[in-house]
Amino acid sequence: MEATIKVVLLGDSSVGKTSIVTRLKSGKFPEKHAATIGAAFVTKTIEVSTSDTSMEKRIHMEIWDTAGQERYKSLVPMYYRDANIALLVFELNNAASLQCALTWFQDLQDRAQETQVILVGNKQDLVSEEQSSKVEIPVELQGVPYVPVSAKTGYNFDALNEIIISLVPGDQFKTSKDNEQGNKVELNNKSSRSGCIC
Ligand SMILES: Nc1nc2c(ncn2[C@@H]2O[C@H](COP(=O)(O)OP(=O)(O)OP(=O)(O)O)[C@@H](O)[C@H]2O)c(=O)[nH]1
């Protein structure tokens, strides 16, 4: 069973969106950092194994990392359009960045109601465990899954992956047979369209 989902990261500049993408993709913390220009795109496949091998799932994630700098803000809606999941990233040591995440949440509610949201508090390595679990989540975000992480140490990335997996709707999964069938339909449509044009 396979599913392809679009995941987008939103949040203030320097909260660690690119570092989270790198940690998700390769399990590493990037040595060099440069502010994202516009947006960047990577893919990552997660294998979900179960005791019944016929039920094994593969999730292909198309991950869009957006730029947090103000000058790119107007471009961001283009990237979260049609996203299945949005990671709203803030820094645990910076309360203003949580307010910025709230602004993105309100934007999504206005323009992308279908997108599922995960609130990600990054840089857990810079605060105490108590501070990261006692974050004052704004009331609007209180029903949203929340996970404190550290892109630097890898803390809680298993939990983040699990939340992502749990948010992929069952009907998004197709068997390879379904996919072949989809391709056949697509080919048939193409040939009938080309017939019309002639
Ligand atoms: N201590 C610590 N630093 C981090 C962590 N994640 C990212 N950083 C640092 O935070 C800074 C910004 O990281 P980026 O990943 O470039 O942030 P961004 O949100 O993609 O920034 P923009 O591209 O400007 O939107 C860099 O200096 C990173 O090294 C973390 O978990 N812990």
The verdict on residue 78 lying in a domain is yes
pLDDT at 183 over 60: no
Q: Is 42 exposed, middle or buried (0-12, 13-18, 19+ CB in 10 A)?
A: middle
The verdict on residue 96 lying in a domain is yes
Q: How large is the average pLDDT for residues 70-92?
A: 94
The verdict on residue 189 lying in a domain is no
The verdict on residue 169 lying in a domain is yes
CATH of the domain at 131: 3.40.50.300
Tally of structural domains, the chain? 1
The verdict on residue 197 lying in a domain is no
pLDDT at 189 over 50: no
In angstroms, rounded to a whole number, what is the distance separating the alpha carbons of residues 88 and 29?
A: 19
Find the 15 Cα to ligand 1 centroid distance in Å. Answer: 5
Q: What is the DSSP string of 118-165?
A: EEEEE-GGGS-HHHHHS----GGGTTS-EEE--TTT-TTHHHHHHHHH
Structure tokens at 194: 């080309």
- Mutation probe of ligand 1 site: the residue of 12, 32, 33 with most atoms within 8 A of C-beta: 33
- Mutation probe of ligand 1 site: the residue of 8, 14, 28, 37 with most atoms within 8 A of C-beta: 14
- What is residue 180's predicted lDDT score, i.e. its pLDDT? 57
pLDDT, averaged across the chain? 88
pLDDT at 191 over 50: no
Q: How large is the average pLDDT for residues 25-31?
A: 92
Task: Report yes or no: 118 and 148 within 8 Å, Cβ to Cβ.
Answer: no
Find the 94 Cα to ligand 1 centroid distance in Å. Answer: 13
Q: How large is the average pLDDT for residues 184-190?
A: 46
- Mutation probe of ligand 1 site: the residue of 8, 19, 91, 155 with most atoms within 8 A of C-beta: 19
Which residue, by CA, sits nearest to atom 26 of ligand 1?
A: 33
DSSP conformation class of 174: B
The verdict on residue 50 lying in a domain is yes
Q: In the structure, what pLDDT confidence band is assigned to residue 16 with cuts at 50, 70 and 90?
A: very high
In angstroms, rounded to a whole number, what is the distance separating the alpha carbons of residues 112 and 24?
A: 24
pTM over 0.80: yes
In angstroms, rounded to a whole number, what is the distance separating the alpha carbons of residues 121 and 27?
A: 18
The verdict on residue 81 lying in a domain is yes
In angstroms, rounded to a whole number, what is the distance separating the alpha carbons of residues 170 and 190?
A: 29
- What is residue 133's predicted lDDT score, i.e. its pLDDT? 79
Q: Is the ipTM of this complex over 0.90?
A: yes
Query: b/e map of 73-102 (b: 16 or more CB within 10 Å)?
Result: eeebeebbeebbbbbbbbbbebeebbebbb
pLDDT digits (tens, 9 = 90+) for 45-67: 999 887 777 778 899 999 999 99
The domain in which residue 104 lies consists of 2-176
The verdict on residue 8 lying in a domain is yes
Find the 196 Cα to ligand 1 centroid distance in Å. Answer: 53
